Structures are given as C-alpha cells and as structure tokens.
Structure 1
Amino acid sequence: MKISWGTAIVMAMISFIAFIMFFVITMSTDDKYSHDLVVEEYYKTELTFEDQLDKTRNATKLSENINLKKTPEGLLVTFPQELTASNISGNVFLYRPSNKQLDSEIPLSLSSHQLLVPERSLIGGRWNIIIDWKYQGEKFYFKEEIIY
C-alpha cells in the first residue's frame, strides 16, 4: 500500500496534535510538575515591604551582620557578637522556591550566638533563608539565598 504525500501530512499533523495533548494533560495532572505561588497571600505580604526595609536598615547599622556557614552538621547561623544572645528572639524561615512542602520555620531561642539548622532539614538545592528577629525592642531582618 502506498501512502500519498497528502495522507502523510495529515498523519503527521494528527501525530503532532496527539503529542501536544499528551504533554498538556501530563503537565496538568502530575504533581511532580506542580508549581505554586511564591507566597500564598502575595498582596498582604507586599504591604509589609516597607517594614522589611526598615528592619534591613537597622541590621546594616550593626558592626557585623548575621553570618551563614555550611558545615557537615548543617547550616550554622552566627549572630553578631556585640549582642547578648539570650535577648535575641524571632524566627528563621527556610523557604524552598521549588517545593513549598519543604518550607519550615524555626523559632529563635538562643543560649549562644550560633544556631545550627540540621542537615536533615535542608535538601540540596536553592534555599532562601529569612531571619526576622528582634533585640531589645529593635527589629531586624536578614535575607540570603544559598545553594545547599
């Protein structure tokens, strides 16, 4: 049986349409390809942006800022030595842009100037580390993107 060029073009178009439909259905239904918004309440978060800028300015007034260091045990967060560690309070947000199920929040209650985020909490890849903290009534904000 011989296939004419017109029949071949129609078969090619049908094959292409079937491939595109398969691709669209797979991307729509598979949880592996699910991508969420950066934050759930985007507009509410944007209203606090000026407050974050003020907190960031406060952090730049310190003689040293927060330092992040990768160690075999996990991520070591070091606060400025000039501050009394027991007076530091706040939260450490571990935000994974690619998977919101990996996001976590660690409350700050320090006995020394260092906080260790265990390695089991950080899967390899990009992380946004956000530290929103307070020292003697003054608020501070630190944000850094790392590849762990």
Structure 2
Amino acid sequence: MNKSWQWPAGIILTLALFLGFMSWTWFYYHSQQIDLVTENYYDKQIAYQEQIERIQRARELPEPLRLAYIAERRQLEIRFPAFFSPEKVRGSVTLYRPSDAGMDFPVPLGLDREGKQIIPTVGFAAGLWRVKISWEAEGLEYYHEEAVLF
C-alpha cells in the first residue's frame, strides 16, 4: 500500500468502526423493554395522601400485621392481629415484582378463623417481591407493604 494512503484509510476505518459501534448501541438499547414502575403515576401521586393515612393507621395498630415466608412449604403466610374479626376484613394482596411488571398479580384477601391467609409460592421466580396488602375493617382502610425474598 502506498504510504500516502495509509493515514486516510486509518481514519476511514476508525470512523466506520465508531459508527458501527454507535449504531449497534442505539439498536440494542432501543430494543430493551423498559417497564414503568406503575401506570398512571400522576393520578396515583395526587391520591397518595389517602395512602399515607392508610399506612399510618396500619403502623399504629397495637399488634402488627405479620408476614412470613416458609421456604420448606414454599408459601407465604399473612397473619392479621387477633383483634380483627376475620369475617369483617375485606381487601387484597398484590404480589409485586419490581424487576418485571408482567409477573405482578393480585390475590383476594380471604382469612381463615385464625386470621391468617396462606399464599402458595410454587412457580414464583426467585428473588425480591414486594407484598402489598390493602384491607378494610370496621369502616377504616389500612395498607401494609413489605419486601420478601422467595
């Protein structure tokens, strides 16, 4: 190769490699799925004061709500305080997977006579889950959220 053509070829090759890398980066990052933490986040932000009051009521309970993951049986146990009458408690449990919105799902709250609910976790992806419990008892609404590792 002629010496006068070596440096222009080097510049062209360098620019071509740079443009190829930038194109690959652009296509790669634009093909990634990005989940919002929540849909309609603006509307939820406006109503969050009510949520703060629910959380505060749950924190002020004389006996706390208890969550326990029992690994041997692969189940999540939710135990409500004894002063709540199980037949008067209505609500839902949402199992929220922060890393994948497609894995989130709600479970209706259905307490047994002892005031507990068992949720089987067979088939759940291992990792961090947030258990969000929203319930109403005796005309008051409550909310409790806790992180659990399955």
With the length of structure 2 as denominator, give the TM-score of the two structures.
0.85
SS of equivalent residue, structure 1 residue 109: coil
**1:12 and 2:14 correspond:** yes
**1:58 and 2:57 correspond:** yes
Q: Contact 2:64 / 2:81 at 8 angstroms: preserved in 1?
A: yes
The equivalent of 2:149 in structure 1 is: 147
| Matching residue's letter, 1:128 | R
Q: Contact 1:88 / 1:133 at 8 angstroms: preserved in 2?
A: yes
SS of equivalent residue, structure 2 residue 143: strand
Unaligned runs of 5+ in 1: none
With the length of structure 1 as denominator, give the TM-score of the two structures.
0.86
Aligned Cα root-mean-square deviation (Å): 1.9
The equivalent of 2:40 in structure 1 is: 41
Cα distance between partner residues in 2 of 1:109 and 1:119: 16
Moved more, 3-12 or 55-64: 3-12
Q: Contact 2:69 / 2:148 at 8 angstroms: preserved in 1?
A: no
Residue among 129, 132, 142 paired with 1:130? 132
Displacement of 1:107 after TM fit?
0.8
* CA spacing shift, 1:107–1:121, aligned 2, 3 Å: farther
**1:70 and 2:69 correspond:** yes
SS of equivalent residue, structure 1 residue 93: strand
Q: Contact 1:35 / 1:98 at 8 angstroms: preserved in 2?
A: no
Cα distance between partner residues in 2 of 1:7 and 1:60: 70
The equivalent of 1:115 in structure 2 is: 117
| Matching residue's letter, 1:22 | W
| Matching residue's letter, 1:15 | L
Larger radius of gyration: 2
Unaligned runs of 5+ in 2: none
Displacement of 1:121 after TM fit?
5.5
Cα distance between partner residues in 2 of 1:6 and 1:80: 78
Displacement of 1:82 after TM fit?
2.3
Cα distance between partner residues in 2 of 1:108 and 1:53: 21
Identity of aligned residues (%): 26
The equivalent of 2:95 in structure 1 is: 94
